[in-house]
Amino acid sequence: MQVIILQDVSNVGRKFEEVEVANGYGSNYLIPNGLAQVATDETRKRYAAQSEAAEAERQSESEDLVAALQKIEGGSITIKVANVGDQGQLFAGIYPKDIAKAINDEFGVGVTASDIERTQPISKVGKEEIEIKILEEVTPFTVVVEQGSVAESIDQDIDEEDLEDDDGEADEYDEV
């Protein structure tokens, strides 16, 4: 089945591209979800001009992303966390969204969490090598995790209240 993709679909095609897909995939998933339309002469004419504009926009974005990758290639960032255990384990992992935010804050580029090739969060203090993949280009990057004060640490969605025991009574978990 020939369809015109209406928005980028991973492993299928980019916006306004005409692609061949399995009949069931096209008629049961892509078309009902508004991701594609059947490619007819009428739809081809309708999306031809939009396709050219989208291609020019993609080219511009591509150039911007390549410049951003060159800016961060081989670079590193330091992320400080306040809540660290005795042996360097973190109480809350550092996820790709946290890494992306730190990179964007430091370098002013548009890295997203999905661009970071990492399946597990960082869970220990130390140096971690990660890869950033944008437009099939893979760039090595280093993340250094250090213990810091609460004021300079990243927000890890841990409530300080959960870590404090302010009832004034000794509990079974309190050191005596």
Give the pLDDT confidence of 98-142 residue by residue, as tens digits.
988 988 888 888 788 888 888 888 888 889 888 888 777 788 888
Residue 123 lies in a domain: yes
Is the C-alpha dihedral spanning 47, 49, 54, 59 positive or negative?
A: positive
Shared-domain flag, residues 150 and 87: yes
| pLDDT-above-70 percentage for the chain | 84
Shared-domain flag, residues 51 and 76: no
What pLDDT shows up at residue 84?
Answer: 84
Tell me what the mean pLDDT of segment 14-38 comes to: 92
- Total domains present in the chain: 2
Shared-domain flag, residues 32 and 78: no
Q: Taking all residues of the chain, what is their mean pLDDT, rounded to a whole number?
A: 80
Q: 154 falls in which pLDDT band (50, 70, 90)?
A: low
What pLDDT shows up at residue 167?
Answer: 54
Shared-domain flag, residues 95 and 124: yes
Q: What is the pTM of this model?
A: 0.56
Shared-domain flag, residues 102 and 142: yes
Shared-domain flag, residues 151 and 123: yes
Smallest Cα–Cα separation from 91: which of 35, 159, 9?
A: 159
What pLDDT shows up at residue 28?
Answer: 95
What pLDDT shows up at residue 38?
Answer: 93
Rg (CA), the chain: 23
Tell me what the mean pLDDT of segment 79-83 comes to: 84
Shared-domain flag, residues 83 and 139: yes
Does the pLDDT at position 9 exceed 50? yes
- Say which CATH number the domain at 8 has: 3.40.5.10
Question: Is pLDDT larger for residue 46 or for residue 156?
Answer: 46
Q: Please, which residues bridge with residue 4 across strands? A: 18, 37
Shared-domain flag, residues 75 and 153: yes
Find tokens 């969605």 and name the residue.
157
What pLDDT shows up at residue 172?
Answer: 53
Shared-domain flag, residues 83 and 142: yes
Does the pLDDT at position 171 exceed 70? no
Shared-domain flag, residues 82 and 24: no
Compute the CA torsion angle 124, 92, 120, 118 (nearest 10 deg): -90
What pLDDT shows up at residue 163?
Answer: 46
Give, for 160, the enclosing helix (H) or strand (E): helix 160-163
Which residue range(s) make up the domain with 82?
71-157
